[in-house]
Structure 1
Amino acid sequence: MPANFAALSAAQIDAFITDGFVRIDDAFSREVADAARAILWADTGCDPDDPATWTKPVIRLNQYGQPPFKAAANTPVLHAAFDQLVGAGRWVPRSVLGTFPVRFPSADDPGDAGWHVDVSFGFDDPDFMSWRANVSSKGRALLMLFLFSDVGEQDAPTRIRVGSHLDIARQLAPSGEAGLTLRELAADGFASTAHCPEVLATGAAGTVYLCHPFLVHAAQPHRGTRPRFMAQPPLVPASPLQIDRADGAYSPVELAIRVALDQG
């Protein structure tokens, strides 16, 4: 691919600002997904060919940096998309892919299927409900969903509230740099975003959803037949996001926040 190519069209960037996410098909190869999934299967302690060993609705695996995971996170198309959404030089390349909530077909409640946003600072507090987000999205430039298995509508796809990032930006704005805790953000169960249309993060292995940090989303029970493997790492900013730039050189992530505040 040529240097500085555009991974996203102008229409896709506009949709990201309005809807809060963009889907990239074939962001990494199926061969990379298969190699990564083999590593993950071994760490679940389950047999991929014996559903009798799939006894939990979800198993959480953490911080994978082996070659397949690094390869998935650092493809030319993703780097180009990061440049377009966050800004060239404004993001930190991923060396690991964070948490993998591996979801198994189960009639049991997974216990983690509530609506939420991923907060991004204050992690020194042992109470995760006290972790925080602020209007300039301190510590997080994107939420990313990496599909390492084929995910259909019955395979516990992440639920997304389209455009909900705009509501959250307006909710965070009055609290300034200090922001709000997850407990404060979730006090109404994210009822302020209940009006938003809902879509499912489905796709073939190798699909990546690049989401605005404020996008409201949720897990759900798995009603399919094969486990779902997905990573959900942040893209960390190399320098703080700004919603008041003297030069006006706003990224789409920043522009979405400005649009929300202008609408408010």
Structure 2
Amino acid sequence: MPSAHLPLTAAQIETFIADGVVRIDNAFPADLVAQCRAILWTLSGCDPADPSTWTRPVVRLGDIPAAPFRAAANTPILHGAFDQLVGPGRWQPRGSLGTFPLRFPSADDPGDAGWHVDMSFGWEETDDFMAWRVNIESRGRALLMLFLFSEVGEADAPTRIRLGSHRQIARRLAPAGAAGLSLRELAADGFAATADCPQVLATGSPGTVYLCHPFLVHAAQPHRGREPRFMAQPALLPQGPLDLVDPASPVEVAIARALR
């Protein structure tokens, strides 16, 4: 059933098609932020009041199917935005928020700050993440999403985003058809075709969500701030393949325009 809450304006939807990302402030409420942060701190093994326990630049937590995370992923605002960007009935509600890369202030290299596109299939066949794949129909992924659970300023390891890079990736993927390309193949030139794209940082207050086109090129970076950055980066899963013959949703339209 389509959501009655449509939070995105026509201008924001056009910006999503052109740039590949839209930001929604206050996408989930402060009480859920607090509940989720308490769980994340406990699972991290770190003490929020004792920075001496923050000994690693990144602590990765697996999927947490707890009620506060499920609620944060399924607010009316977000459901409305999913309908607008992907299409009513064409996405699957999330039962959790996937993995959490918790980034702590550190002079050490986190080791995972390279430019990339999130792969959407292939992990069923191999543990080699560089062999995971993405194709022009974005099999297995309707959106990339960034959920902020802490205040994220420019020094706090915000995700770097190359605006409009989804268009170049679409053109790269099209000749490969349904088989798509692996991350190893896409990253062979360091995503050079997107190097001139304008860069923005995924900053914001807790409760902010960035909804990104699945082909958007992005990267982590070292944390040079003072407070840990808590963020989830789940996929919105599709109900079926994208329709690039008769594109209707903004996700599809963005690809179709890139291939003209």
**Smaller-chain TM-score range?**
over 0.9
Alignment of structure 1 residues 10-159 onto 2, 5 Å:
10-123=10-123, 124-159=125-160
Per-residue CA deviations over 1:63-102 (Å, capped at 9, x if unaligned) read: 1121110110000000000000000000000001101000
* Residue in structure 2 matched with residue 180 of structure 1 by the alignment: 181
Shift of 1:31: 1.5
Counterparts of 2:5 and 2:156, CA distance in 1: 34
* Residue in structure 1 matched with residue 191 of structure 2 by the alignment: 190
Q: Percentage identity across aligned positions? A: 69
* Residue in structure 2 matched with residue 256 of structure 1 by the alignment: 254
* Residue in structure 1 matched with residue 171 of structure 2 by the alignment: 170
Counterpart code for 2:45: G
Task: Name structure 1 gaps, 5 residues minimum.
Answer: none
Counterparts of 1:259 and 1:133, CA distance in 2: 19
Counterparts of 2:113 and 2:217, CA distance in 1: 12
Counterparts of 1:126 and 1:112, CA distance in 2: 17
Counterparts of 2:116 and 2:174, CA distance in 1: 18
Counterparts of 1:108 and 1:26, CA distance in 2: 32
1:4 aligns with 2:4: yes
Counterpart code for 2:68: P
Normalising by structure 2, we get a TM-score of 0.98
Per-residue CA deviations over 1:32-90 (Å, capped at 9, x if unaligned) read: 11110100000111111000010000000011121110110000000000000000000
Counterparts of 2:230 and 2:31, CA distance in 1: 14
Shift of 1:224: 0.6
CA contact (8 A) 2:3 2:88 kept: no
Per-residue CA deviations over 1:232-262 (Å, capped at 9, x if unaligned) read: 00000011112113xx5x1000000001001
Shift of 1:5: 2.8
> 4+ runs of 1 displaced by more than 2 Å?
none
What secondary structure is seen at the aligned counterpart in 1 of 2:238?
A: coil
Per-residue CA deviations over 1:90-130 (Å, capped at 9, x if unaligned) read: 00000011010000000000000000000101112121111
Counterpart code for 2:131: S
Counterparts of 1:126 and 1:23, CA distance in 2: 32
Counterparts of 1:185 and 1:155, CA distance in 2: 28
* Residue in structure 2 matched with residue 242 of structure 1 by the alignment: 243
Counterparts of 1:6 and 1:129, CA distance in 2: 37
What secondary structure is seen at the aligned counterpart in 2 of 1:112?
A: coil
**Aligned residues: CA RMSD:** 1.0
Task: Name structure 2 gaps, 5 residues minimum.
Answer: none
Counterpart code for 1:238: Q
Aligned length: 258
Counterparts of 1:15 and 1:176, CA distance in 2: 27
